[in-house]
Structure 1
Amino acid sequence: MRVYLEVLFNVPVNQSFTYSADCESVSEAAGKRVETRFGSRRMTGYVIAASQSVPPSCPLPAEEIKPVTRFIDQEPLFDGAQVRLARWISSFYLCSPGEALAAMLPSGKRESTPDSVFTDDLFFPEGTFSLSSEQETAVQGIVDTDTTSPVYLHGITGSGKTEVFLRAAEIILSRGKDILYLVPEIGLTHQVVEAIQSRFGSAAAVLHSGLTGSRRLAEWQRIRRGEARIVVGARSAIFAPVKNLGLVIIDEEHDGSYKSGTTPRYHARQVAMHRCSEANCPLVMGSATPSLEAWYQIKTGALRMYPLTCRLSGGSPPEISIIPLGAGSGALSEPLIEEVRKTKEAGRQSIIFLNRRGFTHFLRCNTCGYSMVCKNCSVPLTLHRGDGVMKCHYCGWQIRPPESCPECNSLDVGYAGFGTEYIEDEVRSLFPGYSVQRVDTDTVRGKDRLKTALDKFRRGETDILLGTQMVAKGLNFPGLRLVGIALADTGLHMPDFRAAERTFSLIVQVAGRAGRYFPDGRVLIQTWSPNNPAIVYASRCDIEGFYAHELEQRRALGFPPFSRLIRLVFRSKREKTAETGAAGAAAILEPLVRGHGELMGPAECPLSLISGNYRHQILLRGEKITPLIRAVNTFRSEYKPVSALYIEVDVDPVHLL
């Protein structure tokens, strides 16, 4: 029979389009993807509804409606629940329903059938670990059926948050309900994934962007068919099509990777709150360093907090020292060098942490002051000596290092700053005979290379692990005694109101890896800013003190959690287009937000040029987000941008660069 399809596309247009198809029944078509012509392009479309009659919204007579080229899927990929979620994302995050649905669904065209990584059966181990009284209280608080208000599990690193999550998951599964378990980045939290897979067997599914399209599709369909009931994954796993949602877990809630950097710019935490509200089920979040927004909600009673105050492995919190850097300081201070030696002599291991890749950070001319920046971006190039190039970490452009200054031809050029590659050279020189492994995106690009490197360190086969934030997240190393933070200042002075919060969190998280199984763990923090509150409070692991200080700063400046923000970025290959586009938008937006908030800007973005695009921004700030969303919706209906201008809309941005 002839069936008429309402189809969404991954385009910034807030409507569906009508196509036709020959199907055996109406129910056969809805929820599938189709391949068809959309204007001059061949695109993937998403069938959100099907009927035997032309939809009233379609302006065309039946004979002019074009047929789809083909159906991609043999069985439905989504249902009305996913469509409703896509429409909510569209309304809250100011994108089209098609853009939202495309972000939610897997891109693979056919399912793969790889060897299973799971054991065969769902099982609940009896008494594998005995819970502490704090853990027992937390588990009961999470699964308590009398309330579904969100829960926060706040515990020091090594206090057993993961076991609480898993015990709560067992109880929810035993009630016949399904679970979403979010982790920041699968590659950096594989210990958690392995724990879930070993405990729940084939009832567990993994969803993340690192899977091939066909593998992701196969996992998605297992979930949709009810074959998998606990889904573990990174940010996008929040969209998993579980049938009977009973619990959402967000591990390391503070992590910035839960916020999408592309359209739709959703935050998994916000989507989780919406899904839990719709399903009337609990949301539990956890971290040793909650986001400031979550901490504020804890303090105001919007979140129920359960504390975990003891390290269950028997170790004590490490002794933390600040090492001030001065003129002539090398990458590794004498105290840090001495502690590395002591650690090796004790048969233990060290991590040296620096959140900056490359050999040196930038090239500078000592004659004219010229600094070599990317031709596409307003950022300095970083020397990668192993590859023999200077590279941009934003767009990937690279060039051979010059022998003289490109500006004045002086031969007096040098390099400043240092990265993990430089640290590796220095460590190998200082500690000959030690086993050293560098872990950053330059060294662990291949599949499973990160896991292999971390497993070797866990087995004690590596003496010194050098790394970026890859070594800071959710990892447990029994032999680790010493953590050296080579430079704590790398993100501290960024022009972003969250810079201090990120610095504090990163230091506390990486420090928490040290000495989990013995009493003499050490952390040394090298810094140019030894008196900065973020570093001082982090050296004391003083969560309460730092958050009280930072909340006062935010209150005085009017930034979240005391306000809500929407950021609009206007980018173009032509600088004048970006500038005038932002100015024209500000003229329309200013009266729309008056009485509900304020408009800040327009102004150049702190990173004013990225990948050849000039960038200007406007910030909308108000006490409530709904009037700001309404203002942007009205603006978008009135504003007519030129074709060479692209506008990014970011609700509740986590970065302002």
Structure 2
Amino acid sequence: MTPELEFHIPTDDVHERVTLFADVILPLPLPKLYTYRVPYQMSEEVMVGARVLVQFGSKKVLSCVVARVHETPPKDYQAKYLLEVIDEKPVVTEPQLKLFQWMAEYYMCTLGEVINAALPSALKLSSESQIQLHPQFNDETNEWPLTAHEENIIFALRQKQSLTFTEVGQLLQLTSFHKIIKSLLLKDVIIIYEEIAEKYAPKVVKKVRLTSAYTTSEETLEELFNQLASKPKQLDVLLKYVQLSPILQNLRTNEEGIEKNLLTSNPHLSLSAINTLLKHGIMEQFDVVVSRFPMAEGRGPYLSSDLSPAQAAARDAVLETFGEKDTVLLHGITGSGKTEIYMDLIQKAVEAGGQVLYLLPEIALTTQIVTRLKRVFGDRLGVYHSKFSDNERVEVWNGILSGRFQVVVGVRSSVFLPFHSLSLLIVDEEHEPSYKQHDPAPRYNAREVALMMAHFHQAKTLLGSATPSVETYYHCQSGKWGLVNLLERYGEATLPLVELVDVRQEGLRKNMLSHFSQKLVHAIEDTLHRHEQVILFQNRRGYAPFIDCNDCAWIPKCRNCAVSLSYHKFSNELRCHYCGYTERKPNDCPACGSTMLKTVGFGTEKIEDELKLILPQSRIQRMDLDTTKRKNSHQQIIEDFEMQRTDILVGTQMVTKGLDFEHVSLVGILSADSIIHFPDFRAHERAFQLFVQVSGRAGRKGKNGKVLIQTANPNQPIFQRVIDNDYQGLYQQEIAERQKFRYPPFVRMIRMTIKHPEARPCEQAAILLAKDLNDRLGRGGVLGPEAPHIFKIRNQFLQEIHVKLDRESGHLKHSKNQILEAVQALLQNKEFKQLRVVIDVDPS
């Protein structure tokens, strides 16, 4: 058995010395902060925002963040000692701590859950953290003196690739060994990584150079040329090296060398000749650790003269409005050039010494934006999103702390970053549902967090959208926020012509080719004939929503969720889009044995498949969750489309958001009705936003754009609003209905999802909770309980309760406390041991 970890720290004379205590935020869902005693010798080291190691429970050692240092011992328990101070400087700033506290209170979760979401894994250590030898460590070149304990750890790591903290303690037979680990870290002997994460390895570039014997003078270099005169293949390598390195101008530049792959990847050079030069000591190979975010070349100023008169006027209006309001909405139609205005404002903020956070709703958007911003801000630009490895995220985190990055482009998780002089936040496509985090807690909306972030930093916030959310526009109309309109497209571009195609009538006339109307197929052919490009939008991935049996109507269902399985043809599998369960597509019906299985409906994969049959000469790519799982897949798909290596881009909502393609003149929306008829009070708003946004991809750079919307109900009023680009009409209709039926922005909504492995206890618990909430909050504001449309996910039955709280009542905090108390009382009921209640504030 593993012995329990005990930590004995020498006590000091408390009568002569001030005893400090630290309240720490553990990365766990705990309702309160824990207080630890600070050993006297660490009193000068402990600071708010720094990480410390503590013992939590009998065995577990965790890193946590110091929230407060004081002199008051806890009343209810004996404070344990801190084990170690990890950081010499805070890794979490004061404005961050204020923001995290606000998030915990507003989104009704714990501070530990916020910290756990905020910090990259490499900044969170535990007793199961592991150490390994640093890839660059070498006994022969190591200049640091090593203690006996350190030598023992190195020896053990040579026998076994990694050791947990617990194993280090057992190896050294010490209970307090963290100082030794810290010493090895400072000496670059070891690195630490989380067991669940990838092993850290710095990015290493292999380089080659001439050995010093041949670069002492021009004569020695000339002798080397003479020496290799009879060996033409080796001489070719030397000549190429001299060509790539400025060694002839300055012999000292040989120290820097060149990247080895510049030689090895050259088909005109002999690989054996390169190896021979290395083997005989004429050249040498060495490794260089480089940043994952290398310095960019060609940085230059962004000139305001690049803006059109309309853009310049909008920019000036934003700056003027910032004089009166901290938050401004830039309502610019699609293609109006909002990004250029953002870049101009970012440049001004950076020149004034401030930092800027530029938020985007999707990783796909960062590809185009980063390319443009790199030309302006170069190495001052950082990028932060979930496709980055944990090591890359830590590098950005540290780069912001050090001041290296003045501008950061990122998705919603970027609101957690440690800015210290933030002066401007830009939330592009502010209406996007992608800004909302659904699981796990905190279930935050990055737009709302950005507004509070700006408040704590005393910064300005610019929201941008062609189709603002109803809540945002309401705040502008009520005078809370500023509003600037940009209602003309950049340059000579005009809004695309939107046409409706009645698929019901087309079907009766036999004009449908599978899921494509003849009108759409002819429009695609004409577009490709003009060497222009097409985007086709379908709001469903996979090949088909489900398959069924022609004879007995059997439909395959997920084992864990109350949904049918979607068919994915490429992998020939049925897949649940909620829990990820998969199974092979059957050849015959498991219920009746029939082989008459057919697919029903269509997704992006089926569109791609059928287009290849209809238009075999066209080059088609698909952009959805299935094709963008790899780290750089977004970038490659977008680059291929930009460079016209792709004719038709088929995609889900990823293709609707802010992408700017010069040669797109046709957009097709294939199944518009499924987006409109959705059981949600925001359904019409979201449908309008989607249609307008995807339509906006067409007709840029002076080309006449066209949008074809396939629908079975062309008389649906929302289509006319899309054709007229009538945002004002939509807003007036939506705001009137929301005021009448009490929906946001007139109330705040909180959704509680009750989860249980069995249906009956789930329903009983939901009824009890709804009754308690009605007693506490008064009737009229509590809706439900009721089972959602999908009533079972991941083997958990679901019930939902919605609470509406008056926005202007002033009792929001009290009401939230009442809700938390009601939930806590329910969870303490012994009948509901397996019950979970998920609270979602401002559900999307």
Displacement after TM superposition at 1:519 (Å): 4.2
Displacement after TM superposition at 1:402 (Å): 2.7
- The answer to whether the 8 Å contact 2:303/2:344 transfers is no
Displacement after TM superposition at 1:51 (Å): 4.9
Q: Which is worse superposed, 365-374 or 294-303?
A: 365-374
- The answer to whether the 8 Å contact 1:148/1:280 transfers is no
| Long gaps (5+) in structure 1 | none
- The answer to whether the 8 Å contact 1:152/1:305 transfers is yes
Change (3 A) 1:333 1:304: same
Q: Select the residue among 780, 787, 791 that pairs with 1:608.
A: 791
Letter in 2 for 1:39: G
Q: After superposition, what is the alpha-carbon deviation per residue over 1:551-582, rounded to whole angstroms, capped at 9, x for unaligned? A: 23323332222321000011122222322221
Q: Select the residue among 364, 370, 383 that pairs with 1:206.
A: 383
- Answering whether residue 34 of structure 2 is matched by residue 17 of structure 1, we say yes
Q: Which is worse superposed, 95-104 or 487-496?
A: 487-496
Q: Select the residue among 253, 278, 303 that pairs with 2:430.
A: 253
Q: Distance in 2 between matches of 1:359 and 1:137?
A: 44
Q: Report the counterpart of residue 478 of structure 2 in structure 1.
A: 300
Q: What SS does the corresponding residue of 1:639 show, helix, strand or coil? A: helix
Q: Distance in 1 between matches of 2:348 and 2:75?
A: 49
Change (3 A) 1:122 1:648: farther
- The answer to whether the 8 Å contact 2:46/2:85 transfers is no
State how 1:630-645 maps to structure 2 within 5 Å: 630-641=817-828, 642-645=832-835
Q: Which is worse superposed, 370-379 or 329-338?
A: 370-379
Change (3 A) 1:372 1:538: farther
State how 1:403-422 maps to structure 2 within 5 Å: 403-422=587-606
Q: Report the counterpart of residue 462 of structure 2 in structure 1.
A: 284
- Answering whether residue 431 of structure 2 is matched by residue 244 of structure 1, we say no
Change (3 A) 1:358 1:41: farther
Q: After superposition, what is the alpha-carbon deviation per residue over 1:4-46, rounded to whole angstroms, capped at 9, x for unaligned? A: 4422223332211234565544444542334555336746442
- What percent of counterpart residues are identical? 33
Q: Report the counterpart of residue 334 of structure 2 in structure 1.
A: 157
Displacement after TM superposition at 1:101 (Å): 2.1
Q: Report the counterpart of residue 311 of structure 1 in structure 2.
A: 489
Displacement after TM superposition at 1:510 (Å): 0.7
Letter in 2 for 1:125: Y
Q: Which is worse superposed, 331-340 or 374-383?
A: 374-383
Q: Select the residue among 410, 424, 432 that pairs with 1:233.
A: 410
Q: Select the residue among 37, 51, 74 that pairs with 1:33.
A: 51
Q: Report the counterpart of residue 95 of structure 2 in structure 1.
A: 81
Displacement after TM superposition at 1:52 (Å): 8.1
Q: Which is worse superposed, 394-403 or 253-262?
A: 394-403
Displacement after TM superposition at 1:538 (Å): 1.9
Q: Distance in 2 between matches of 1:539 and 1:408?
A: 49
Aligned pairs, how many? 649
Superposed CA RMSD in Å reads 2.5
Change (3 A) 1:39 1:474: same
Q: Report the counterpart of residue 507 of structure 1 in structure 2.
A: 691
Q: Select the residue among 564, 587, 590 that pairs with 2:748.
A: 564
Q: After superposition, what is the alpha-carbon deviation per residue over 1:463-487, rounded to whole angstroms, capped at 9, x for unaligned? A: 1111112211111111111111111
- Answering whether residue 450 of structure 2 is matched by residue 272 of structure 1, we say yes
Q: Distance in 1 between matches of 2:369 and 2:539?
A: 23
Q: After superposition, what is the alpha-carbon deviation per residue over 1:354-393, rounded to whole angstroms, capped at 9, x for unaligned? A: 1211111112234444332211112221111111111111
Q: After superposition, what is the alpha-carbon deviation per residue over 1:416-441, rounded to whole angstroms, capped at 9, x for unaligned? A: 10011111121111111111112222
Change (3 A) 1:193 1:578: farther
Displacement after TM superposition at 1:106 (Å): 2.1
Change (3 A) 1:33 1:156: same
**Higher fraction of helix:** 2
- Answering whether residue 656 of structure 2 is matched by residue 472 of structure 1, we say yes
Change (3 A) 1:298 1:470: same
Change (3 A) 1:467 1:519: same
Q: What SS does the corresponding residue of 1:142 show, helix, strand or coil? A: helix
Displacement after TM superposition at 1:219 (Å): 0.9
Q: Distance in 1 between matches of 2:88 and 2:391?
A: 14
- Answering whether residue 355 of structure 2 is matched by residue 172 of structure 1, we say no
Q: What SS does the corresponding residue of 1:428 show, helix, strand or coil? A: helix
Q: Distance in 1 between matches of 2:589 and 2:741?
A: 42
Q: Report the counterpart of residue 132 of structure 1 in structure 2.
A: 309
- The answer to whether the 8 Å contact 1:156/1:309 transfers is yes
So what's the TM-score if we normalise by structure 2?
A: 0.73
Change (3 A) 1:34 1:48: closer
Greater C-alpha Rg: 2
Q: What SS does the corresponding residue of 1:78 show, helix, strand or coil? A: coil
Q: What SS does the corresponding residue of 1:136 show, helix, strand or coil? A: helix
Q: After superposition, what is the alpha-carbon deviation per residue over 1:527-570, rounded to whole angstroms, capped at 9, x for unaligned? A: 22322233332233221122222223323332222321000011
- Answering whether residue 806 of structure 2 is matched by residue 623 of structure 1, we say yes
Q: Report the counterpart of residue 141 of structure 1 in structure 2.
A: 318
Q: Distance in 1 between matches of 2:724 and 2:295?
A: 42
Change (3 A) 1:102 1:450: same
Change (3 A) 1:209 1:97: same
Q: Distance in 1 between matches of 2:67 and 2:843?
A: 33
Displacement after TM superposition at 1:340 (Å): 0.5
Q: Distance in 1 between matches of 2:69 and 2:684?
A: 55
- The answer to whether the 8 Å contact 2:67/2:97 transfers is no
Q: Report the counterpart of residue 551 of structure 1 in structure 2.
A: 735
Q: Report the counterpart of residue 566 of structure 2 in structure 1.
A: 382
State how 1:408-447 maps to structure 2 within 5 Å: 408-447=592-631
Q: What SS does the corresponding residue of 1:253 show, helix, strand or coil? A: coil
Q: Distance in 2 between matches of 1:345 and 1:183?
A: 34
Q: After superposition, what is the alpha-carbon deviation per residue over 1:172-194, rounded to whole angstroms, capped at 9, x for unaligned? A: 22222222111112233321122
So what's the TM-score if we normalise by structure 1?
A: 0.92
- Answering whether residue 108 of structure 2 is matched by residue 94 of structure 1, we say yes
Q: Distance in 1 between matches of 2:435 and 2:61?
A: 28
State how 1:356-367 maps to structure 2 within 5 Å: 356-367=540-551
- The answer to whether the 8 Å contact 1:361/1:382 transfers is yes
Change (3 A) 1:40 1:61: closer
Letter in 2 for 1:511: S
- The answer to whether the 8 Å contact 1:229/1:242 transfers is no
Q: Report the counterpart of residue 344 of structure 1 in structure 2.
A: 528
Q: Distance in 2 between matches of 1:460 and 1:313?
A: 22
Letter in 1 for 2:783: M
Q: Which is worse superposed, 333-342 or 347-356?
A: 347-356
Change (3 A) 1:370 1:562: farther
Displacement after TM superposition at 1:524 (Å): 0.5
- Answering whether residue 207 of structure 2 is matched by residue 190 of structure 1, we say no
- The answer to whether the 8 Å contact 2:24/2:68 transfers is no
Change (3 A) 1:122 1:636: farther
Q: After superposition, what is the alpha-carbon deviation per residue over 1:390-411, rounded to whole angstroms, capped at 9, x for unaligned? A: 1111111111223344444444
Letter in 1 for 2:723: S
Higher relative contact order (CA 8 A, sep 6+): 1
Change (3 A) 1:373 1:496: farther
Q: Distance in 1 between matches of 2:118 and 2:562?
A: 33
Change (3 A) 1:43 1:83: farther
Q: Distance in 1 between matches of 2:762 and 2:63?
A: 31
Q: Distance in 2 between matches of 1:565 and 1:49?
A: 30
Change (3 A) 1:365 1:59: same
Q: Distance in 2 between matches of 1:75 and 1:348?
A: 55
